[in-house]
Amino acid sequence: AEFLHPDEQKFFDVALGLVQTAGRLVRDAFDTPTSVVMIKSSSTDLVTETDQAVEKMLIDGLSKAFPDHKFIGEESVSGGAKIEFTDAPTWIIDPIDGTTNFVHRIPMIAICVGLTIKKQLRAGIVFNPITRELYTAQTGRGAFKNGFPIHVSNNKTINTSVLCASMGIHNVKAMGGKWLEMAQSNIRKQIEAGVRGHRSFGSAAINMIMVSQGCVDAYVEYGLHAWDMAAPAVVLLEAGGVMFDPSGSDFNLMGRKILCAATKELAMEISSKLTHADFEPEA
């Protein structure tokens, strides 16, 4: 596989070292919960001092190593600000995906660091520092869990699949009852179509990782941001998975929604059953 930039391997190696250090920060805070919890837009939208410290540490480290790189980080993007996404090497960072899990000491959280160059996904690092599961991928070079290759399932039909579709609780608050109805009706349709089971892990990245390693067969979600999806998207694609907009059209990293699956057949079957939101997320 060709690199888009001559220093791409170095970019990845530096990021990986920083993520491992960040993992120790998060693990220490998880075991000794002194972290201050702050409410952002509502009681379902939390941030802790650990989220902020980890994001700062990653951005400081990467910008010191690569002064001309750009950053899109959850805790650095101030409310409602338009995200500037350019051709420059860009690190897309979620310091803790699954902050509610973190605050409630549920061990399903992920540090997510993705890299785009010329707006193309190039590398993804997704690290659960509690279970010490490290998922890495570089475009064209495969996906790995703690160094061992991972692959999606071969499932092509709903009735042999375990699906993941979160209720999008954030969107319920932002968009009112209409949203709840849509989320419920989509899950209901999947159950009626004979799905084998439903799971949701409270972290968009872990949901995507579950598809990447063949545990779950597909995942659909509205309301996500680029930092939830960038890093796990590289892992998913390199693990052989597919990614679309829930409507079945092309995936857009900035489009705030995703349908990912083990196979295109399964993705299209799910897409055909969904009520598609006229989706204008507020936050």
CB of 22 to ligand 2AM, least distance (A): 14
Instruction: Answer for the pair 271, 246: CB distance below 8 angstroms, yes or no.
Output: yes
Which position among 23, 73, 89, 98 is part of the footprint of ligand 2AM (CB under 6 A)? 98
Residues 111-150 that bind ligand 2AM (CB under 6 A): none
The CA distance from 259 to 236, in Å, is: 12
Instruction: Answer for the pair 41, 133: CB distance below 8 angstroms, yes or no.
Output: no
For position 92 contacting ligand 2AM by CB under 6 A, the verdict is: no
Residues 56-75 that bind Ca ion (CB under 5 A): 74
Residues 7-66 that bind ligand 2AM (CB under 6 A): none
> Which of 181, 180, 164, 174 minimizes the C-alpha distance to 267?
164
Is residue 252 classed as helix, strand or coil in its secondary structure?
coil
Residue nearest to ligand 2AM (CB): 223
Q: Of 67 and 80, which has the nearer Cβ to Ca ion?
A: 80
Active-site residue, selected from the candidate residues 90, 99, 136, 263: 99
Q: Is 72 a catalytic residue?
A: no
For position 221 contacting Ca ion by CB under 5 A, the verdict is: no
Q: Is 74 a catalytic residue?
A: yes
How many alpha carbons lie under 13 Å from residue 101 in its C-beta half-sphere? 19
CB of 98 to Ca ion, least distance (A): 7
For position 269 contacting Ca ion by CB under 5 A, the verdict is: no
Q: What is the DSSP string of 79-101?
A: TTPPP---SS-EEEEEEEE-HHH
> Which of 103, 101, 105, 127 minimizes the C-alpha distance to 114?
127
Per-residue x/- marks for Ca ion, 90-109, CB under 5 A?
Answer: ----x-xx------------
Instruction: Answer for the pair 258, 251: CB distance below 8 angstroms, yes or no.
Output: yes
Q: Of 12 and 222, which has the nearer Cβ to ligand 2AM?
A: 222
Q: Which two tokens stand for residue 243?
A: 């990614």
Sign of CA dihedral 262, 135, 228, 189: positive
For position 204 contacting ligand 2AM by CB under 6 A, the verdict is: yes
Beta bridge partners of 97: 110
Q: Which stretch binds ligand 2AM (CB under 6 A): 31-39, 116-124, 138-146, 165-173?
A: 165-173
The CA distance from 96 to 75, in Å, is: 10
For position 269 contacting ligand 2AM by CB under 6 A, the verdict is: no
Per-residue x/- marks for ligand 2AM, 205-244, CB under 6 A?
Answer: ------------------xx---x----------------
Residue nearest to Ca ion (CB): 97
* Segments of 146-187 assigned E as strands: 148-149, 162-165
- Which residues are part of the catalytic machinery? 74, 94, 96-97, 99, 228
Point out which residues bind ligand 2AM (CB under 6 A): 74, 94, 97-100, 168, 170-171, 202-204, 223-224, 228, 283
